Every structure is written in structure tokens, then in C-alpha cells.
Chain A
Amino acid sequence: MNKKDHISYKQALEELEKIVDEIENGEIDVDLLSEKVKRATVLSQICKSKLRKTQEELDKLLSEVEKEDNEQQETEPEPSS
């Protein structure tokens, strides 16, 4: 499993929406366009494959995401400095 697969559905959706907005509003440089389109495809593929992971993979993946989320939540309130 790739590290990038750990992106949550929500994150993926939000990022996709952002990309669409950027492109729709023409805020994006044509030079960056292919990069964004590529990213959108990757995000969409991650989601689609995640929806179809086997239960074992799914449980593992989801529990890992949970763990990360929890760790994040735990570490977030404390500023490192």
C-alpha cells in the first residue's frame, strides 16, 4: 500500500473540488494544468480503489487512518515550541 493512499475520502473530495474550482475559474496557469489534471486522476483512482479494497485491506487501511487521525488529534493541541 502506498503512503499516498492514506488520504481520507473527505480530503480527496475537498482537494478534487478545489482543483475543479481552480480550473473552472481559470485561476490556474496553463503550465500547471496537466499537473492538476494528473493529480485529479490520481485522487479519483485512490478513492475508487479504496471503495473496492478487500475487507482485510480495508480494515487495515481504515484502522491505520484512524490511528493517524487520532495521533494527529492528540499531537495537534500541543504546539511543538
Chain B
Amino acid sequence: MVNQMIASQFISLYDLCVLIREVVGDNFPEYIWVVAEIANIKENQNGHCYLELVDKNEERVIAQARATIWAYNYRSLSYKFEKATGETLKRGMKILFSAQVQYHEVYGLSLNIKDIDPTYSTGEMARKKRETVERLLRENLLELNKSLLLPLVPQRIAIISSPTAAGYGDFMTHLQENSYGYQFSLSLFQALMQGEEASFSIIAALQKIKKQIDLFDLVVIIRGGGSQIDLSCFDDYELSAEIARFPLPVVTGIGHERDDTVVDMVAHTKKKTPTAVAEFLISGVRLFETQIEELQNSVIRYSDRLLENSRFSLQENLNTLNHALKNILSHTFSTYQLLAIRFCLASRKCFSDHQNRLSLILQKVNAVLRQKFQEAKNKHLLLEQFMYHFNPMNLMKRGFSIARMNGNLLTSVKQAKSGQIITTQLLDGLILSKVEDKS
């Protein structure tokens, strides 16, 4: 039949296209639900949204079509979608939509989207996220960054953020005005924090930090609160893997309310807001300072205890020494006392022995003396008697007299001559007599 048509008659392209339009218009219900992935999406000045939709079989495109969402519809649809999924409609996203199949003679086939069911995308995103998490888990990346030790003092901070983000300002103010007066060294590495380029941009910032890694203790990734949408860049596998493998602990403060992003899950520490991250850093420094203070207090406490102990043991030693000395002294004393007593006793005994001997001797001497004395006395008596008897006075009393001549004792008659004067001494005087004769 076709051959016949070519051979016998033909129609214009326009006629053909009209025909196609009619066929299309007649053969499809007014609206049909379709699942497709957004390959591209653009919004023009008038607010109309133009999409490229694809269907893939393992990354290979097996179908492709254009679609439009007219401005009046797009505004309410995108609002509803964002509210439900926390995401904007964007490339790579799978959506379930109801559309009218249209054919235009000039523009060709196009799907006019009337409605989008966000729950399908939510489920689809959750599935993708789950797959990313499972992959990270399989590759042992999920806990890798968490296994790093937090720096002793998180003072040199590499910040990945956008300088215009509200959260960045809050973060800086909070850190710089901390009540303890801690100072932080803060270096900003600018990156896009939302949109399709965010993941790539953050990875680039991380690589920049990696080149001067020695200058930093910690990396923070912060993003202001406010917009709750467009967080899917933080579910990106490449970014999550980069963070997981990062040699420094990464702390996130991606202000959002919904479930943790994959980046939050692989990060060392996840905080809800940039301010909370600042608080975390300050408390980290505070912890160190407290540690130092406690150690110093311990030094003082233990020193006091040590000194007290030393003082106590010194006192103890002194007491012991005192006691020992007393012991020794009393022992010595008693020894000496004993000696003294013994000495006393001994000397007394010795003394009395000698005394006895002495008195014995004395008695003997006495006896001898008495005897001698008696003997002498007796002798003396005899002598006295003798003397008495021989005393001239006594002799004269008894009638003896002493005759002298010329002063000489007259002991012989021969001495006497006649006429000579003889002096005769009697007891009571002298008699002068003249010698007349001698016989």
C-alpha cells in the first residue's frame, strides 16, 4: 500500500504531520501516567518549563521525549513537589507524571505535563540513597572518617561553605565571640552549597585542603538553614566517598530538618546547624582546657597529699626516733644504774671487807699496844719506885746526907784533910763542919 502511495500519489509533510497529530490525538486517552528520568530541565523567561525525558536500560538511553510544563501549572507543581520531596525537579531525577501526548507539526512529539506524583520520586530518591549507603557500606567507607581521632584541640579549621550563606556568618560569629576567649584559625574554602554543581565544587574544595592538610586540624562543611530543598547533592556517592576517605575528621552542619543526608552519615560528626558545629568546636577546646586544668589541680592536690604524707612520715620518723632514743637512753640508763648499784654494792662490800680487816688489824694493834703499854707502864712503875727510892731528897729524909768539899762530892775519907771545911747537905739546909780527925 505504501509502495502504491509512493507510486501513484503523495501528500505533503504538513499533511502527514496533521495526520500523525490526528492519530496521536485519537489514540491516547486525555491523560496518561508515565515514568521517566529527567535528562534536562530548563525554565524560560516566561516561566514555562521545558524538559528532556529519557528512559534508560542500564545507562543506555532506550527512549527519549520532550515535555513541557506550562508556567501557570509549573509554579504550583514545583511548589508541591519541593514541599513533598525536599528537592527541586532536576536532572537525574525519576518522576511519575500524568501528561497529554501532543504532536505538533513543527515541534514534533511533546508531552504536556499536567501533574507529578512526588511520592514516586521520594521513593525513588530513597531507593537511590539506600543504594548509595549500601555501596559505601560495602566498600567500608561508611565508618572510615568516623574512625579518625578528633584533634586534641580543634583550633585550625578548614571551612567549606559559601561566604554568602547565612549559616557561615552565624558560624564565624559564634566561634569568634565564644565566651572563653578561645581563638581559632579559620580558613574558608569556597564552594557551591546547592544545585547540581555543589557536589563537584565541594570535592574540589576538599582536594584543595588536602594539599595543605598539615595546616588544619579539622574540616567543617556548613550551609545555612532556610531553604530545605536541594540537598540531594549531599546524597551524592562521589562526594560521600571523598569525605569518607578524607584524612581529617569532617564535621557537617548542613542546616536541614529531614533525614540525614549520606554526607551526614559518612562524616565524622554530624551537627544540625553551623552554630551547633561552632558549639561543638568550642566544647572540644574547652574539653582540652578542662583536662589541663584538672591535671594542674591534680598536681596541686597530689603535691599537697605528698607533702602531707612526707610531713606525717617525718613526724612518724621523729616519733620513732624519739621513742628509740628514749629506749636506748632508758636502757643505757638502767644499765648504768645497774652498774652503779653493782659498783656501789661491790665497793661497799669491798669497803666493809677492808674495814673488817682494818678493824681486825686495829684490834690487834690495840691489843699489842695495850700490852706494850701495860709492859711499859709496869716498867715505869718499877722505875718510879726505883727513882723514888733513889731520889736524894727521899734518901736525905731517910737520914742520908751529901757531903761536899770545895764543891766536890766527898765519897772517900781520903779526900778529907784536917781542918778543911766540909759542907753537909741535909733536907732542910747545909751544915758547915771542920775536919778534926779521920778514922
Contacts and interface: CB of A to CB of B under 8 A. Distances in A.
Interface of A: 9-10, 12-13, 16-17, 19-20, 23-24, 26, 28, 30, 33, 36-37, 40-41, 43-44, 47-48, 51-55, 58-59, 62-63, 66, 69-70
B285 interface: yes
B303 A33 contact: yes
A20 B185 contact: no
A52 B291 contact: no
Contacts of B295: 13, 16-17, 19-20, 40, 44
Interface in B337-395: none
A30 B308 CA distance: 11
A37 B310 CA distance: 16
B185 A59 contact: yes
Interface residues of B, number: 30
A37 B300 contact: yes
Given A20-B299, A55-B186, 13 more contacts: A13-B288, A13-B295, A16-B292, A16-B295, A20-B302, A28-B306, A40-B295, A43-B292, A48-B292, A51-B155, A52-B183, A53-B183, A62-B155
Contacts, number: 90
Interface string B279-322: 00000010011011101101110110011011000000000000
Contact of A58 (B185, B285, B289): B185
Given A47-B289, A55-B186, A10 B152 contact: yes
B19 interface: no
Given A19-B299, A20-B298, A47-B289, A13 B185 contact: no
A44 B293 contact: yes
B185 A16 contact: no
Interface string B317-331: 000000000000000
**CB-CB nearest 5 A-B residue pairs:** A23-B302, A40-B299, A16-B295, A44-B296, A20-B298
Contact of A9 (B153, B180, B214): B153
Interface in B162-187: 180-186
Kindly name the residue among A17, A48, A51 whose own CB sees the greatest number of chain B CB atoms within 10 A.
Answer: A51
B156 interface: yes
B41 to A, nearest CB: 44
B300 A62 contact: no
A41 B214 CA distance: 29
8 contacts: A9-B153, A13-B295, A20-B299, A23-B299, A24-B302, A44-B295, A51-B155, A52-B181
B185 A62 contact: yes
A26 B299 contact: no
Contacts of A23: 298-299, 302-303, 306
B150 to A, nearest CB: 13
Contacts of B307: 30, 33
Contacts of B309: 26
Contacts of A12: 292
A66 B296 contact: no
Contacts of B285: 51
B215 interface: yes
A11 B71 CA distance: 65
Interface in B9-66: none
Nearest to A67: B214
A59 B212 CA distance: 14
A26 B156 CA distance: 38
Nearest to B182: A51
A69 B215 CA distance: 11
Quick one: which of B181, B214, B215, B309 has the most chain A CB within 10 A?
Answer: B214
Contacts of A55: 183-186
A40 B306 contact: no
Given A20-B295, A20-B298, A26-B309, A58 B183 contact: yes
